[in-house]
Amino acid sequence: MIRLAPLALLCSAVLLAGCTSEPEPAPAADAVRSTKSAPIERMEHLGVVEEGYWLDERSKDLTTGDEPAGRWVQGVARLSQADFDRLFASRQWQPFSTEPIMPAALKGKLAAGDTWYLGENEDGVYYLETDTRLVLFMVWPG
């Protein structure tokens, strides 16, 4: 009976440590929000997206620190043909020779082609990929 006491004490310590430790943080993938056939919050001007994924201020901070403080959102969405055409016609877009850098948590969420355009306005930066009707957005408060 005396030999079992150290073993029981060890088991109790392990169980107690397991009960009192802090829960593990959620994986980064949980920071990605998504929608299908609906507008993206704060991105309603894109229209109803066929499929969209985004990170926002509730997620890990992916900004460089040079952006204005406040709410931000970064994401990728596939637009309907009509909404993509409307967005493309809404401003001057500059051809962009390579695929833009995408936040790691959004990579691979939507397939894109090779024909990219860049546009900016007062609230952020947009990249459009014309072959797949994809838009990559990085938007800060206006």
Asked whether residue 99 is domain-assigned, the answer is: yes
Asked whether residue 18 is domain-assigned, the answer is: no
Domain count, the chain: 1
- β-strand partners of 54: 33, 75
Asked whether residue 1 is domain-assigned, the answer is: no
Q: What is the pLDDT of residue 122?
A: 80
Asked whether residue 37 is domain-assigned, the answer is: yes
Q: What is the pLDDT of residue 131?
A: 96
Tens-binned pLDDT, residue by residue, of the chain (142 aa): 455 444 444 444 444 444 444 444 444 446 899 999 999 888 898 999 999 999 876 554 444 555 445 567 899 999 999 999 999 999 999 999 999 999 899 999 999 999 999 999 888 899 999 999 999 999 875 5
Asked whether residue 71 is domain-assigned, the answer is: yes
The domain of 106 spans: 25-139
Q: What is the pLDDT of residue 17?
A: 47
Q: What is the pLDDT of residue 62?
A: 45
Asked whether residue 102 is domain-assigned, the answer is: yes
Asked whether residue 128 is domain-assigned, the answer is: yes
Q: What is the pLDDT of residue 72?
A: 78
Q: What letters, b where the CB count within 10 A reaches 16 and e where it falls short, cover 10-33?
A: eeeeeeeeeeeeeeeeeeeeebbb
Q: How many other CB atoms are found less than 10 A from the CB of residue 35?
A: 18
- β-strand partners of 78: 51, 134
Provide the whole-model pTM.
0.70
Asked whether residue 62 is domain-assigned, the answer is: yes
Q: Is 94 exposed, middle or buried (0-12, 13-18, 19+ CB in 10 A)?
A: exposed
Residues 92 and 62: their CA atoms lie apart, in Å, by 27
